[in-house]
Amino acid sequence: MTDLQKLEAVRQECRTLVRKRALVSAGAAMVPVPFMDVMVDASILMQLIPEISRRFGLEPEHIAAMTPEQREKVWHQVRVRGSQLIGIVLTRAIVRKSFMDFAGKLAARQISKFIPFGGQLVAAGLGYFVMRRMAYKHIDDCFAVVTASS
C-alpha cells in the first residue's frame, strides 16, 4: 500500500468518524433549548478537530519533531490552505471563530427550532450538515497539507 493510499484510508476513516459525530450534533439540534446545540457542537469540535489532526500526523508535537525542511513545507502548506486549525492547540476562541464562519446557518438553525416539529427537523438537518461541512473541510485541509509536504 502506497503512502497516498494510506492517507486516503485515513481520510475515509475520518469522514466516517465525522458522520457519526454529526449525527450527535443533529440530535442536539432537535432539543428546543436555545444554544444548547451550539455548546454540544463546540464540545464535539474540541475533540474531533485534534483527533483528525492526530490521525494525519499534524499535531503540534509531530510537527515540532520534523526536520526543519519538513516543518517548513508543512507550515507553508498550512498558510496556502488558509487553515487555522492545523498544527495548533485548539482553543474555544478558535472553535468560536470557525462557528462564526457558518453564522448564517447557525442563526437559521436556532430560529427553525421554534417552528413546531418540522422546524426541529430542519434544525437537525442543518446541524448535521454544518458540523459535517466544517469537519470535512479540516479533513481536506489536513490531507492536502500532508500530500503536498511529502
Tell me the pLDDT tens digit for each residue of 104-124. 555 555 555 556 666 677 777
Specify the pTM. 0.77
Pick 82 or 33 by higher pLDDT. 33
**Which range of residues forms the domain containing residue 80?**
3-149
Using the predicted structure, report yes or no on whether residue 77 has a pLDDT greater than 80.
Answer: no
Band (pLDDT 50/70/90 cuts) for residue 19 is very high
**What is the tally of structural domains in the chain?**
1
Q: Are 30 and 124 in contact (CB under 8 A)?
A: yes
Band (pLDDT 50/70/90 cuts) for residue 12 is very high
Using the predicted structure, report yes or no on whether residue 64 has a pLDDT greater than 70.
Answer: yes
pLDDT in tens, 131-141: 898 899 889 98
